[in-house]
Amino acid sequence: MKVLSSIKMGEDRLKKLLSAQPGVRIVQVKEFKEIDPEVEILLTYGWDIKKDTLELFPNLRWIQTLSAGVDALPLDKLAEKGVVLTNVKGAHKIQMAEHVIWSILMLLRQGVTFVQQQEKKIFSAKPKIDEMYGKTVCVVGAGTIGKEIAKKCKVFGMTVYGVSRRGEQHPNFSRIVTADKMQEVLKISDIVVVVLPLTPYTKNFIGREFLGNMKEGAILINASRGPVADEDALLNALKEKRIGAAALDVFIQEPLSEDSPFWSLDNVVITPHIGGRTIQASERMWDVFTLNLAKYPDRTEMINIIDLSAGY
């Protein structure tokens, strides 16, 4: 069984993987460019898998991506060829939830203002500080990450609503609704957190209608994917103060260009797509692949298998 990896790994990591599956061979490459009928498994971050890539490996059975999002991969071609795709869902929930809490606190407690005051040596308590306690938050995308966000928000004394495709209830939320009833919870939420995967359905999900349904003065946290937001509609809502503020970790164009109008808005906190990054996250991501490698080829025992038609 041959694994081809475009992700560099150290000797200790390699030994751990080899012990997980007897008889496995792991070859590391900079890119997938050579025809190889022996390759059965690809390990990747996902960006280097195109339709043409799949033609190089006629006996490919499984792709493991060390990312949560799989929108860059040719899902239709994978389905056509019967290739299993797994991601590292769950490996990002802790740091993503902490990033969301940090984003909320930065906006409510005027974090940017106080950093600016420190730089100017201004000792002033005039900025208006708000609390998380007692606020209502709506988490759009009540999956693994969304549930962890809800759990932490409840600890802060918040009322938490969720939006999901199926509307299946979960104890971390006061209530979960489907997208057709989302308007009801958006109108009463002080904070709206979006953690959706990027699919054809979710592209431009944060649009004029979505923003128009938000409570006036509410805060938006976008920690999903850049194209999930219609940036023109979002810019207008922020400039007109239709929504109070936003913490944005993702953008359509990354890195965000120096001439982007988002930089100049005083009601926006910008981070460079780091919501899912911590030192500890890497270990959790590798743990998913190690477990799946040990269970392969038994698909019933493998975790995080992507529904290729849904895109997540």
Catalytic residue chosen out of the listed positions 25, 109, 165, 273? 273
In contact, 35 and 4? CB cutoff 8 Å: no
Q: What is the pLDDT of residues 272-299, one digit of tens each?
A: 999 999 999 999 999 999 999 999 999 9
Reported as a single tens digit per residue, the pLDDT across 152-181 is: 999 999 999 999 999 999 999 999 999 999
Hey, is 302 helix, strand or coil?
coil
Altogether, the residues listed in the chain come to a count of: 312
- The question of whether 184 is a catalytic residue gets the answer no
- pLDDT band at 308, cuts 50/70/90? very high
34, 254, 283, 301: the active-site residue: 254
Tally of helices (H runs) and strands (E runs) in the chain: 10, 12
Neighbours of 58 (CB within 10 A): 12
**Domains of the chain and CATH, by start:** 2-90+279-295 (3.40.50.720), 93-270 (3.40.50.720)
3-state helix, strand, coil in the chain (%, to 5): 35, 15, 50
Q: What pLDDT is attached to residue 114?
A: 97
* Residue 31 a catalytic site member: no
- Residue 15 contacts by C-beta under 8 Å, 6 or more apart in sequence? none
Q: What is the mean pLDDT of the chain?
A: 97
Which residue of the set 92, 99, 148, 225 is catalytic?
225
For the chain, what percent of residues have pLDDT higher than 90? 100
Three-state DSSP class for residue 261: helix
182-241 confidence digits (pLDDT tens): 999 999 999 999 999 999 999 999 999 999 999 999 999 999 999 999 999 999 999 999
CA distance 260 to 304: 36
For residue range 25-62, what is the model confidence (pLDDT) as tens digits?
A: 999 999 999 999 999 999 999 999 999 999 999 999 99
- List the beta bridge partners of residue 46: none
Is residue 301 flagged as an active site residue? no
